Structure 1
Amino acid sequence: MNAQAARQCLRVCQTYAEHWPARKAQGCGLVLSNLAPTELADCIGESVMDRMQECGGGTLAFTWGSYRQRKGQCV
């Protein structure tokens, strides 16, 4: 993982940790997926996507290549 990707991941984790108690009280959670937002909506349904948006949900795209494809390397 390069330094920029590590900083982005750390920022996501910190933000989630800071806001989790309030979001949990509102009945919100975290959804992680490798699907694009439209593909995720097709998978889980528009009503679920709408509910996620009600809780202040958003989309954060991680667009770098797959590290799993690097055979024999630890990342």
Structure 2
Amino acid sequence: MTSSKESSDVTGTKDKNYNLLWFTETCLNNALRMETYIQDADREKDTELAELFRKAQADSRKGAELGKQLLRSRLGD
């Protein structure tokens, strides 16, 4: 993040912690979005596309889990 003032001065949260929160939330949101895409592909019987979205969803879930683990270990920071 580039600005003349540290964003932590505005948010009250260190940039690195804010970034980790953002990353975790984004992974969770993406996993939810992929569910819609999977259902759309399944409805159209496009198994190739559905599989792509399932893999993306699994990756998003993995990222979210890693983010949550790191958040748990840093909450006191």
Normalising by the smaller structure, the TM-score range is: 0.3 to 0.5
Which TM-score applies when normalising by structure 2? 0.34
Q: Greater helix share, 1 or 2? A: 2
Relative to the length of structure 1, the TM-score reads: 0.34
- Greater relative contact order (Cα < 8 A, sep 6+): 2
